[in-house]
Chain A
Amino acid sequence: MFFRILSFELKYKFRQPAVYIYWVILFALTFLIVNALSGLIDGVSVSIGGLGGKVLTNSPFVIYSMVAGLSFMALILLPALIGNSIYRDYENNTHALLFSYPISRFGYLGGRFLGGFIAAIFVFTSIGFGMYLASLMPYLNRDFFGDNNLMAYISPYLSNVIPNILIVGIIIFTIAAVSRNLLATYLGCIALLVLYGVAESLVGDLENTTLSSLLDPFGGTAFDTLTKYWTVTEKNEQLIPFTWLLLLNRVVWSAFALGIFSVLLSRFKFSQNVFQLRFRKNSRMIFANINPVHKLFKLKLPTVNQEFSAKAKFKQLMRLIRFETLNLVKNPYFLGILATGILFIMINTTQLGKMYGTTTYPVTYQVIELLGGTFALFVLIIITFLSGEIVWNERTFRVNEIVDSLPIPTWTIYTSKLSALFVVQIILMTIILFIGIIAQTVMGYFNFEIGLYIKGLYAITMIDYILLCFLAFIVHAVVNNKYLGHFVMILYYLFSMFMGGMGLEHNLYDFGSDPGIMYSDMNGYGHFVWPFITYKAYWFSFAIILAILSNLLWVRGIDNNFSKRIKLFKQRFTAPTKISLTIILLVFVGLGSYIYYNTNILNEYTTSKKRLLESVNYEKKYKKYKGYIQPRIVEMNINVDIYPEKRDAFFKGYYILKNKSDQPIDSVFVNYSGNVDFKKFEFEKPFDVLYDDTELEFRICRFKEPLMPGDSTKVNIEIDMITRGFRNSGSNTRLLKNGTFLSSSILPSLGYNEGFELTNEKKRKKYDLPEKQLIASINDTSALQNTYISNDGDWIRFETIVSTVPDQIAIAPGYLEKEWEENGRKYFHYKMDSKILNFAAWLSADYEKIEDNWNGIDLAVYYHKGHEYNIDDMMKAMKMSLEYYSENFSPFQYKQLRIFEFPRFSSFAQSFPNMIPFSESIGFIADIEDEDVNYPFWITAHEVAHQWWAHQVIGANVEGATVMSEILAQYSSQQVIKNEYGIEKLRDMIKYDMDGYLTGRSTEAHYEPALLYLRPNQGYLHYKKGNVVMYALADYIGEDKINSALKKFVEDYAFQEPPFVTSLEFIEYIKEVTPDSLQYVIYDMFETITLYENKVTDLSYEELDNGKYKVNFTVECQKFRADSLGREEEIPINDWIDIAVFSKEVNDSTKKETEIFLQKFKIEENKRDFEFVLDHKPNKVGIDPYFKLIDRHRDDNTKSTAAISR
């Protein structure tokens, strides 16, 4: 019986064209995506785990990711493929017949399920085939592909796809069997998705990776956890192994699914009756009295007025809106989706602004962004699903013939249904508002900015959804098939996600789009508002066109074929309609023209492709000028007038340029930015503009008489930064109504600038550019002439007068010489009394401030009113840092140090001479609790350290430059943190940074050098690995010794003239203080990439007669050396490593785990046994328990005695 049903089901399924259509669609989709990923289209920014760098498109890792990812999305087909196997019988009512036959449950359910399961597997094979075929395409850039490995295509199916089809398939099949409702099966699919989301958000917390790996029913999290730290080589060469975690996940979930199936098998009844979701008691059937006797009566109805006036129409519309809204909100599936969504966002509120495990205060804009963002998916589902429901409502309940013949205009019907969907949006937004306020209250934050909630939710977030409703309605009106309509909407979502990648970047044709709007406490919505309104007005006029068309195409009556609908269309397309359509078309075109005028005429519209070509052309045309000696900036005297309201800034002043070389200079090459009006660049020494490329913004000036060695000339500069209208995207978020932060990088730079070059190797190859050396070699003597932050000058004199509106304060490096008001503006004259790096900034904002003083140095934190939370910590960090650094390294070079808050559009802090601009998003609103890492404190300490490590000693523009700035700043801040918060907090940070380093190297696009040779933009090396390594180094050779080395290092190199210092010179100072026995540590940490696999294996302990405890355990250690692409080789171990024992018994009251033994042992074998006799009962033993050595599996570094059975 089972086989008969199975074979029947298989025959049925494979006779259906749907199976082949799905196959072809998935195949085509995969094929296209692989093409896009492999450089078919330049602009595409799709990226899978470092793809685009050196990871190959047909590497096992990418194949696995793609097959798993696409099949995950394709799981939405399972209701149709597997749910249908059983649902079909109910739909066609064949169950009434079939269930009366003598078939067994197993035969029926098993056969049907297996048939659908096999068909689904068949459909999903298309993904693998699509990838394989695409990898063979000769027209694609072959550099993206390596050799194909058959197992790489099979393995994702074995460990991911097939188990997932089984798990999800069974769940869906069961729901279909029980509910006999296709929609319920789709909802089951969505519920699984939510579970997946929960697992994903738990991954954010490092400790939970095992739990979240197991929780995720799709096994994706387990895969991510497994491959998280994989390097390029591993990704390219290694098949995805079946680890215990992955295996366990698959086993647990498969068992769960089979359990469900067995319950279904034992409980399933071959009955006619449908199990239904009932929220209320069933309304009972009413029976009529049978009374055949004719009762004579006269039909007599009261006479009533029928009104068809405008007022009547309005009342009818209101009635219908109420009626339709009730229909929607009472829909049990809507309530189901909503409940899941609410649950989902409530889970997400715990993720508010996490950074190093520390949350921020739940300020309103963050709540809106987080909740609105995570809820978005549900809103999309709700709109897609409800629009179909409401458009089809009358037809679903077969009242359409009555309703359609009622004397109400079609637009009333349309408007009422659309409005009902709007009302649902209002309800959804209100739900977010309430959850937001509840979340804020629960977290003890009571500054509810209701006004901001209303703006953020109803005026911004909701607008997009409203627009989407119009689109969904016209789709349903045109397509006239509910499920096809849903599908078209999903296609639209996919299309709008990828259209940017396909080079369609202008918002004018991206329905509902806008140039972006972002709130900052400092700047409010600021300049984003007007373009936002304009774009939305544009899209609303378009939406009204859609509405008119929807009305004309609205299905009323039962004629559905196209020609009849065209006929109706013409009939309905009356003169008034034509007039209103014309008017609204004019509005649409008018607004569109206004936008075009702003984005393409007032401003330059550039696409990613155009920018790419510009950088290609720049390199091709001007690389020949590389190496031409240029004069150096020795003085910068630029006045800046900032007009915050108009968002204009005017730069006017001069550089003094000096020929520091020993050769005469006849030409100066100037790069200027096109985003500003470059008005004047005139030498006082006679010169000609020999060449000017306004497209690539490159100019060549030639002196009439060469600038002789040692000679100087003044160059007068005028630059206007004027905001004209608005841009298509990427408005200038540095020049704002409140919180302007302009840096000297917008000023013209001199000489050929390698920074503009394209770095993506494959694209370089495509455009015939030679392989790029990403950074000058450490031995490149010409590169040693420059610091890594500027090629135009090193130590300069600096002076500026900066002006702004009276209610703001304007700031620049230097000391305030004079402050005055003139012509209704405020002027500030700043001058630096010593030379600074060629690195300046001008700020203007309405600030509050706190001031203090440390040893005669003026300290201040300038902050936005309301952001008082952490300013005292920042101030304290400044003081402690100044104290520690000036005592241990060298005196502080300035008389003043200030922190300035700037809006969250960028999130970093940056150290300028005697000033530190600090983003509002990275510390000003952090909610620090006792157990948290106080990152505002830490970032402050780091930035203050840069006053030494960059502003006193700065590396040359070669490999390893940031060792002397970022890594030393990390080291310095560690010491301040340790002094203030203790070593435990530091260890907490190290855990995050270890993870950050290992994740970072896994997505490296080029190559990972050893620390001494890092490139300046490798944050995962200088911040993350730098932090880990310096923490270890301080532990191995001692803080005092490092400090003494640094003291000497600063003494030798502070404010040096070129050639500048390199990491090779620096490391000698460290080596000098390192005992011979530990020199290997320097080699391992700085000169090579070294990794360890340390773990505790056997563990046992016993209580001795004297009350002491004997503990025995074995450790295993492996040491690896990795090359720049992550290829590893095991090397013999001969290292000092921490061995530790912990106990909870030391402090009886807290039972806190305390270290009772910690000592470094020289491990000379891969395996070593330890035995200790200790005073306290051991709870945990560990090797390298504080993660001083780079180790990818840190869970096994310690072992708890609770885990051993005694």
Chain B
Amino acid sequence: MELKITNLSKTYPNGVQALKNVDLTIPTGMFGLLGPNGAGKSTLMRTIATLQEADSGKIMLDGMDVLKQKDDVRKQLGYLPQEFGVYPKISAEMMMDHFAELKGVINKKERKELVKALLEQTNLYHVRKKNLSGYSGGMKQRFGIAQALIGSPKLIIVDEPTAGLDPAERNRFHNLLSEIGENIIVILSTHIVDDVSDLCKNMAIINEGELLLQGEPSELIKNVEGKIWEKVIEKSELTEHQEKYNIISTRLFTGKIIIHAYNDTNPDSFKMVTPSLEDVYFSSVKNVKQTSNV
């Protein structure tokens, strides 16, 4: 089973082109969609989640045309939106039961068990009677993923789930995600590189609506091996370095700045470093042409 996106484009009425001829094939397992804020991730996610129309292009899921057979797709879909609220004055248990019935879990007994299991395993069971509106951000996200899991979906979309979570909650959330089956498609969109490196078998990088890279994280890292150069400089030197070299990232460290450059050879008194996924991400977002596009 795979999700195949071909030539997908979308322009908003205000002229912003959110997707530019995106071609992407997503296999089963956890797939990370990495990109900065405003890259078009959410547009892509929502389009796959049947909530938005594309101007052109096609999305096929297992022989289904996602853009046309919305009802069929929805039966197989679990979706956790980037931002979502809750109905006021309703408990987690009630809400979950409601969603479960709407997802087709009609049998009352089954539904009850399912709701219980979901709340237990997302560690919300002890607060199931509380109103959702009183939940903290992390609890709300866990509730969100729980509802996405209702009814063994074949496609799960989680859009920026860890933004705004504290480290412990993020950790907890990663654990949850990592438990979701290997044989269904899980698309995780994020701007946090660690989310992808922690969880994903496959990934793609998207920026300004364009797909920059895709592949397995380790392979992508391999592609930039020997091309990432590091140097520690004074703050005053930054401008000069930025003009002279192809700087892909800067980071403050004990009052000084660590810069990473992308180059085939040592630009000048830099030190070669073992690349991380972050370097892959920054180098691609910096719009560096890579010859080794998969």
Contact = CB atoms under 8 A, between A and B. Distances in A.
A286 B74 CA distance: 32
Interface in B75-93: 75, 77, 79-81, 83-89
A558 B42 CA distance: 11
A402 B153 CA distance: 14
B130 A558 contact: no
B168 A407 contact: no
Interface string B50-85: 111100000000000000100100110101110111
Contacts of B52: 557-559
Interface stretch (B29-37, B173-181, B205-213): B173-181
Given A307-B104, A319-B102, A292 B167 contact: yes
B233 interface: no
A316 B139 contact: no
A568 interface: yes
A398 B68 contact: no
Interface in B137-187: 138-139, 144, 147, 149, 151-152, 166-169, 171, 175-176, 179-180
B46 interface: yes
Contacts of A290: 166, 168
Given A300-B121, A407-B74, A567-B53, A316 B84 contact: no
Nearest to B95: A399
A399 B104 contact: no
B51 A404 contact: yes
Given A306-B151, A398-B85, A571 B103 contact: no
B140 to A, nearest CB: 10
Nearest to B147: A402
Given A397-B87, A406-B102, A283 B131 contact: yes
B107 interface: yes
B16 interface: no
Given A397-B85, A559-B52, A285 B102 contact: no
Contacts of A984: none
Interface in A285-328: 285-288, 290-292, 294-295, 297-308, 311-312, 315-316, 319-320, 323, 327
B179 A307 contact: no
Contact of A557 (B46, B101, B110): B46
A406 B74 contact: yes
A283 B46 contact: no
A284 interface: yes
Contacts of B114: 301-302, 304
B294 interface: no
A551 to B, nearest CB: 13
B111 A286 contact: no
A409 interface: yes
Nearest to A398: B85
A291 B168 contact: yes
A399 B85 contact: yes
A300 B149 CA distance: 11
Nearest to B135: A286
Nearest to B151: A306
A766 B246 CA distance: 87
A404 B102 CA distance: 11
B125 interface: no
Interface residues of B, number: 63
Given A397-B86, A399-B84, A315 B106 contact: yes
Nearest to A295: B175
A283 B103 CA distance: 28
A1150 interface: no
Contact of B117 (A280, A301, A401, A405): A301
A823 interface: no
B51 A288 contact: no
Contacts of B175: 294-295, 297
Q: Chain A interface secondary structure, helix, strand, loop or mixed?
A: loop
A1167 interface: no
A621 interface: no
Contacts of A303: 152
A330 interface: yes
A301 B84 CA distance: 24
Interface centre among B46, B104, B130, by most A CB within 10 Å? B104
B50 A557 contact: yes
B222 interface: no
A408 B150 CA distance: 14
Contact of B110 (A291, A295, A304, A564): A304
A393 B85 CA distance: 11
For chain A, the bracket of interface size reads: 35 or more
Nearest to A397: B85
B101 A299 contact: no
Contacts of B265: none
A308 B89 CA distance: 29
B134 interface: yes
Contacts of B176: 299
Contacts, number: 159
Contact of A315 (B49, B79, B98, B101): B101
A561 interface: yes
Given A405-B77, A557-B52, A301 B152 contact: yes
B104 A299 contact: no
B84 A402 contact: yes
A319 B101 contact: yes
Contacts of A401: 46, 49, 51, 79, 81, 84
A323 B81 CA distance: 22
Interface in A380-410: 393, 397-399, 401-409
B144 to A, nearest CB: 8
B50 A405 contact: yes
A402 B133 contact: no
Contacts of B110: 302, 304-305
A320 to B, nearest CB: 7
A931 to B, nearest CB: 52
Contacts of A561: 12-13
Contact of A402 (B50, B88, B99, B152): B99
A282 to B, nearest CB: 9
B136 interface: yes
Contacts of A408: 74, 102
B105 interface: yes
Interface in A253-292: 280, 283-288, 290-292
Interface centre among A295, A311, A401, by most B CB within 10 Å? A401
Contacts of B113: 302, 304
Contact of A288 (B87, B101, B136): B136
B51 A557 contact: yes
B139 A305 contact: no
Contacts of B101: 315-316, 319
A568 B53 contact: yes
Contacts of B277: none
Contacts of B111: 304
A749 B78 CA distance: 82
A396 to B, nearest CB: 8
B238 interface: no
Interface centre among A285, A286, A312, by most B CB within 10 Å? A286
Contacts of B166: 290
Contacts of B100: 304
Contacts of B98: 319, 323
A409 B133 contact: no
Nearest to B171: A292
20 contacts: A283-B133, A294-B171, A300-B121, A301-B117, A301-B149, A302-B117, A304-B151, A304-B152, A305-B105, A305-B107, A316-B104, A330-B89, A397-B86, A399-B84, A401-B84, A402-B84, A402-B147, A405-B51, A409-B71, A559-B53
Minimum-distance CB pairs A-B, first 6: A398-B85, A299-B179, A557-B51, A306-B104, A401-B81, A407-B74
Interface of A: 280, 283-288, 290-292, 294-295, 297-308, 311-312, 315-316, 319-320, 323, 327, 330, 393, 397-399, 401-409, 556-559, 561, 564, 567-568, 571
Given A286-B136, A407-B104, A558-B51, 5 more contacts: A283-B131, A305-B106, A407-B71, A557-B50, A567-B53
